[in-house]
Structure 1
Amino acid sequence: MQHEVTTPQELLDYHGVIQEEGWARRPIWKYDRRNIHASAMRIKEWDYYAVLSHEQEFCIAATFSDLGFAALLSLAYIDLKLGRNVQVDAIKPLSLGKLHLPHDSGDHAISWANEHLRLAFSRKHELRRLLVAAPEMVLPDGRVGLDADLTLIQQPNLESLNIATSWKENRKAFYLNEKVNCMPATGLVRIGDDEVHLDSASSFGVLDWGRGRWTYT
């Protein structure tokens, strides 16, 4: 994994194998799940965000994932003062790609909701917006309900950590990942009946964007 890839290219060749494995400073591999030589049960796709406020001493993490055999949607609240966390999950069996996660981390919009959990992720140019809510979540300090409208700023010159690698025992099984760190975050967070405004000087977000074809279901 010491090879830096610098030329934009399709991720997989005609046989479903990564054309050029390595790492990159930007997301230059073009992912297309239609080129994967495997059952939809083996394809794993996810967008994960975490937003940390040093001033308010909490972290909010949200996951939008399609694991083939099921979709997993989740929202977590981590109380850094108390050292405790809570999470609300939703599982949708046999998703098989039906959530239509984007083929790259560029401009897009995805959303999902039920009566217990709402998630909406979007990006337009340098702004990433997260609308997340769990109205029945019981926070570690006893307050009930979490609702957040967060904006992350990804400057055009910000590098990210990107890798494309495969399994030695099966080169058609692969893992493509992008991590975007240290994005300044702003927004409004409602915790129970209280409102908190995040300051970009002390609040930051991270994106973990993953796509792959596993060796197992």
Structure 2
Amino acid sequence: MMGRRIVERELTEPVSLCLADGRLDRRSVGWSRTPLHDTSGIDGRTVWGRNKRWEYWAVTTPTHIVSLTVSSLDYAAVHGIMVHDIRSGATVERGAVSPLAGSATLPPRLGASSARARTRSLSIDIDELPGGTRLRGTAPGVAFDITAERPDGHEVLAVVVPWSHKRFQYTVKDVARPATGWLDIDGTRVELPSGESWAVLDHGRGRWPYRMRWNWGAASGVVDGRTIGLQLGGRWTDGTGSTENGVLVDGVLHKISEELDWAYDERDWLAPWRIHGSSVDVTFVPFWDHTSSTELGVFGSRGHQCFGHYSGWADTAEGRIRIDGLLGWAEDVRNRW
């Protein structure tokens, strides 16, 4: 099956995600190039138990992968730090789950204030700066201080995905942010190489069904002298009238309004993946499968986040662009939350 084209509405004015009673404001459904949505209604006051709020950042360099998560699920806060050495295969992973959400501080809308995680085992700070976002984290055996720069005119892909008037998600995927800074692994300091390090944000606010499965792929880098950011999603948006597909070229978003086909072997996660439709066709070749599995009563998660390189092509308003060797990831995640 080839991808399915759909019609999506581009939003250009600020809008609230929720009505006063907590239901979805249908005027918010669509996508935008800048964060326009007021998500302060996802706060656990009007509706409690199904709110999902998170900030996830991943940073890729030629030698390391770094990720951090600050999240609140109402009944629990789930945080994490991960650093992977591509050369040696060594991975440092630290996580914390705390009851309710007291260990998480999350802004009512993207960029409105800082995000923080504070537990006995880890600390994370996400602070907005002029021209960028500062990412800091510490846990046993690992620390980092990274700035995800925001070039002038840099656009994002912000999308509202509506399952129903009670279940909906606002996501901002911000790819190809130039990254600078350092990380420390067991006392060894590593400087991020300028021009070869990239940060990607997944900002989420919404109310989800209890069970959900999704695909997400992202990659950043330079091809033919142009900065390319790839953002692809699937499964969780199917049938909603929204997609989270797009390609960023030198900071300009080109929306892909199409449900794409994802083809991969669940018996061999490191075999090549193919993600394709009529406007994009890429092959993803993984080199590492970052597996995760959590079972904590009402909360459960199983995932394969594979890291590797993308090659292929995508159509934009400027014509077809080549994608060659972009470092990123593709994932299959199944949540019970």
Question: What is the TM-score when the length of structure 1 is the normalising length?
Answer: 0.84
The answer to whether 1:73 aligns with 2:67 is no
Could you tell me which residue of structure 1 aligns to residue 241 of structure 2?
none
Tell me how many residue pairs correspond in the alignment.
203
User: Which whole-Å CA distance do the structure 2 matches of 1:58 and 1:184 have between them?
Assistant: 15
Could you tell me which residue of structure 2 aligns to residue 22 of structure 1?
30
Could you tell me which residue of structure 2 aligns to residue 112 of structure 1?
117
In the TM superposition, what are the counterparts of 1:97-176 in structure 2 within 5 Å? 99-135=104-140, 145-167=141-163, 170-176=164-170
Q: Is the 8 A contact 1:10 1:19 kept in 2?
A: no
Deviations 1:56-87, CA, capped at 9 Å, x for gaps: x1111000000112100100112222445442
C-alpha change, 1:67 and 1:148, in structure 2 (3 Å) is same
Unaligned 5+ segments in structure 1 are 136-144
User: Which whole-Å CA distance do the structure 1 matches of 2:204 and 2:42 have between them?
Assistant: 16
Could you tell me which residue of structure 2 aligns to residue 196 of structure 1?
190
Secondary structure at the counterpart of residue 208 of structure 1: strand
Q: Is the 8 A contact 1:71 1:92 kept in 2?
A: yes
Could you tell me which residue of structure 2 aligns to residue 187 of structure 1?
181
Could you tell me which residue of structure 2 aligns to residue 92 of structure 1?
98
Q: Is the 8 A contact 1:116 1:134 kept in 2?
A: yes
User: Which whole-Å CA distance do the structure 1 matches of 2:122 and 2:80 have between them?
Assistant: 8
Question: What is the TM-score when the length of structure 2 is the normalising length?
Answer: 0.56
C-alpha change, 1:99 and 1:208, in structure 2 (3 Å) is same
Deviations 1:158-196, CA, capped at 9 Å, x for gaps: 1101101211xx322110000111111111211122111
Deviation at 1:108, TM superposition (A): 2.0
In the TM superposition, what are the counterparts of 1:50-61 in structure 2 within 5 Å? 50-54=58-62, 57-61=63-67
The answer to whether 1:5 aligns with 2:11 is yes
Deviation at 1:19, TM superposition (A): 2.7
Deviation at 1:98, TM superposition (A): 7.1
**Aligned-partner residue type, residue 165 of structure 1:** V
Q: Is the 8 A contact 1:107 1:125 kept in 2?
A: no
**Aligned-partner residue type, residue 173 of structure 1:** R
Deviation at 1:107, TM superposition (A): 4.6
Q: Which has the higher contact order (CA 8 A, sep 6+)?
A: 1
Q: Is the 8 A contact 1:160 1:180 kept in 2?
A: yes
Q: Is the 8 A contact 1:149 1:188 kept in 2?
A: yes
Secondary structure at the counterpart of residue 49 of structure 2: helix
User: Which whole-Å CA distance do the structure 2 matches of 1:115 and 1:94 have between them?
Assistant: 15
**Aligned-partner residue type, residue 72 of structure 1:** V
User: Which whole-Å CA distance do the structure 2 matches of 1:7 and 1:62 have between them?
Assistant: 31
Secondary structure at the counterpart of residue 167 of structure 2: strand
Moved more, 172-181 or 115-124: 115-124
